[in-house]
Amino acid sequence: MQYITIDTVDGKQLRLSKFIMGSSVHWDTPREEGYALFDRYRELGGNTFDTARAYGGLRDQLSFGSCERIMGDYMRERGCRDEMVLISKGGFPWLNEDFTFKRLRITREAILGDFFTSVDNLDGPIDVYLLHRDDPTKPVEFIMDILNEIVQSGWVRALGVSNWSLDRIKEANAYADKIGMPRLQLNEIQWGYAYLTHKMRDDETVAIMNPEMHREYEEAGFPTISFTSQDGGLWSYLYSGKETWETLHGKRKMYDHPINHRKFEKVKQYCDEHGCSPAALVTAYLACNKVICGPIIGCRNMEQLEDSMSGAELELDQATIDWLDDVDV
């Protein structure tokens, strides 16, 4: 297992396992089943759990964010809080009933409301607190001042963002240095081996890794955490024959593109030659990347968890990664 090291608000360091457990355990998963996934993840060397104020929610009256609730319950049940690194997020936008965007929630009250509710849900300090989105109409100073209030509360260990641009992060960190507050440590973005654009994905507010961004991150040395790391299971479904390009289901449909057809040829070739699973290959692609990346693993069952976590044992050298990237765009 590789690790990402970040700075805490009080000048220490925090080590996050690169393979990060996503909020896959839902309110309708039988508890012991869900807990077993978390247990196994930790046995396999993972120590970092990603959740958010906005995740999991059915029945606000019962859940106040059921994903955080479930993680909080798990930690209390196992008494393992000290062994875990918890990432949570606030400031997710307000959506309409049909999931269309209504308005951004990057305001002092929305973020403090989300933050303190998360602290209550998770029963204590949050290790890494991220802003779930940016509001580019707001100056970084306004936003960082809110995060500074959160730091002053004593309930957070490290700060970060999700779906921000690197330019805004640099601006924010320059301001942080100026006023003597802790810097943003990482950016949680969408990044998988697949070629993906905003047009294909139909959500303008997420940040999706692309070659130009990749160069900027390499230069800046700024850490990332990736969501949708396995492209919704695209490579596994194709490699196993469970789906074909014509029969891609749900969230995998959007990846049907000539570039990804070519990428799949590489996946097939590598996996055939080395006898490893596509899940291992594409997660290792991120974990071994010269841009620092901790892939979040989303899984529904033990089989998928084991498969994805096998990527932590796979070492890919730069030549292999370059070869994987060398696809005619």
Partner 1 sequence: MKQMTLKTVDGGEMKISKIILGSAMLGFIWDKIGEEATFEYIDAYRRLGGDTIDTGRNYGGELDQISFGKCEGNKSSYMEYRRCQKELKITTKGGFPDLSMADHNIMTRFRITREALIGDFFTSYDRLHKGPIDVWMLHRDDPTKPVSYIMDIVNEIVQTGLVKVIGVSNWQLSRFKEANAYAREKGYAEFAVNEIMWSMAQIEPIARNDKTLAMMNPDMYKEYLADPTPTIAFSSQASALFTRLQNGSLTWDEVPEKVPVYNLPINKEIWERVKEYSKRTGYSASTIALSYLTSNPVDCAAIIGSANIAEVEDSLKDCDLVLPPEDIKYLYNLED
**247 touches partner 1 by CB under 8 A:** no
Q: Determine if 97 is a binding residue for partner 1 (CB under 8 A).
A: yes
Q: Pick the closer one to partner 1 by CB: 60 or 328.
A: 60
* Cα dihedral across residues 104, 116, 5, 72: positive or negative: negative
Q: Which of residues 251-270 bind partner 1 (CB under 8 A)?
A: none
Residue 295 binding partner 1, by CB under 8 A: no
Residue 119 lies near partner 1 (rule: CB under 8 A): yes
Quote the least distance from Cβ 112 to partner 1, whole Å. Answer: 5
- Tell me the DSSP string of 304-328: HHHHHHGGGG----HHHHHHHH---
Single out the segment in contact with partner 1 by CB under 8 A; choices: 115-123, 186-194, 207-215, 237-245: 115-123
Q: Could you report how far apart the first and last alpha carbons of the chain are, in Å? A: 32
Residue 114 engages partner 1 in binding (rule: CB under 8 A) = yes
Contacts of 127 (CB under 8 A, 6+ apart): 14, 84, 85, 86, 87, 156, 157, 158
Q: Among residues 15, 33, 58, 302, which is the contact residue for partner 1, using CB under 8 A?
A: 58
Residue 136 binds to partner 1 (criterion: CB under 8 A): no
Q: Report the distance separating Cα 144 and Cα 74, nearest Å.
A: 32
Contact with partner 1 (CB under 8 A) among 49, 92, 255, 264: 92
The answer to whether residue 64 forms part of the interface with partner 1 (CB under 8 A) is yes
Nearest-5° angle of CA 163, CA 194, CA 299?
75
* Whether the Cβ atoms of residue 129 and residue 88 lie closer than 8 Å to each other: yes
> C-beta of 31: minimal distance to partner 1 in Å?
8
Ordered alpha helix ranges (H), the chain: 31-43, 60-63, 66-78, 108-122, 140-153, 166-179, 198-201, 211-220, 234-240, 258-274, 278-287, 302-309, 318-325
Query: In sequence order, what are the residues at sequence separation of 6 or more whose Cβ sits closer than 8 angstroms to the Cβ of residue 132?
Result: 52, 53, 54, 89, 90, 91, 92, 93, 162, 163
> Considering only residues 63, 149, 259, 306, which one is a binding residue for partner 1 as defined by CB under 8 A?
63
Spatial distance between the Cα atoms of 85 and 128, rounded to a whole number of angstroms: 8
- Nearer residue to partner 1 within complex by CB, 60 or 246: 60
Q: Work out whether 138 is an interface residue with partner 1 (CB under 8 A).
A: no
Query: Residue 99, interface with partner 1 (CB under 8 A)?
Result: yes
Q: Which of residues 10-39 bind partner 1 (CB under 8 A)?
A: 27
Q: Does 66 bind partner 1 (CB under 8 A)?
A: yes
Q: Please, which residue, 117 or 165, has the CB nearer to partner 1?
A: 117
Residue 18 vs 132, nearer CB to partner 1: 132
Q: Which residues bind partner 1 (CB under 8 A)?
A: 27, 54-66, 69, 92, 94-97, 99, 105, 107-110, 112-120, 155
